[in-house]
Amino acid sequence: MEAINLQGIFSNSYFRIPDYQRGYAWEQRQLGELWDDISDIRHEDGEYKKHYTGTIFVEKTVPSEDERWLTGAVFYNVVDGQQRLTTISILLFELLSKSDIGYGGQRRSTLIERYLYTENTTGASRSYKFSYEQTDKNYHFLLNKIFGDKSVLLNSKEINKYSNNLLAAKTFFSEKIDMMADYERDELFIKITSALYFDIRSIEKDLDVQAVFETINNRGKPLSVLEKLKNRLIYLTDKLQCPKEDKSKLRKKISLSTFITLSTTC
């Protein structure tokens, strides 16, 4: 894949954060830096100047059982770059939630389907363009509290430092957008979707995805020992010779144990 903007990234693709990943770790400093980067994008020669936003490593995967109704869609696990993708997805949701019309001459309903979620014909099933795997403890929080999907039930016991970071990002962008005029919001939406460019890299099938994840995350803000342990244990479950359902149950137990430990230490 080559560097493309969000219009291209979300055109027919759905992104999932695997359960071995670290949770959402961005705080005020990173949010402020992204906001400033977007604000500094200038309009030149009839369009907004391209802004390179970073590299996202992905691995092609299959949709969950309740998303098989989507035809022609491509699903990816995000191996690296989830912090940026999570943040921008929250920002887009906040922008669309504050408009009854839409942006850039396009209807709100059209933009929601392109960047946030797709519903089946009955409206009973909704598939998000960006989400966590259902086995991740932050899955319910993201959909319920951040994306406002009340059909997804939230257990208050699932709140942890990562979910608090998600809520802080939502609040940060909501307050920023509230202070903007309608034309400024329109400009912001166009900048985000057309001027932010990502270098999308697909991991080869013969590479060990968990090993790639560990190698990539040895730079930047380091993973904690607990986060590395979680990744390693979930990686080892793939090596077990047992039914898929048993592996899934084991992965959930590992995620739950990690969540409990994080909750008692934060």
> For 197-242, what is each residue's pLDDT tens digit?
999 988 866 445 555 555 555 544 555 666 667 666 766 776 677 7
pLDDT for 183 equals 96
| Residue 166 in tokens | 């998600």
**76 touches 59 (CB < 8 A):** yes
**Model-level pTM?**
0.78
pLDDT in tens, 80-126: 899 999 999 999 999 999 999 999 999 999 999 999 999 988 877 89
Beta sheet of 51-61, edge-to-edge order:
3-5, 196-202, 51-61, 74-80, 13-17, 130-132
To the nearest 10°, report the CA torsion of 166, 170, 176, 180: 150
- C-alpha span between 130 and 119 (Å, rounded): 14
- C-alpha span between 155 and 84 (Å, rounded): 26
What angle separates helix 82-97 from helix 182-190, to the nearest 10 degrees? 150
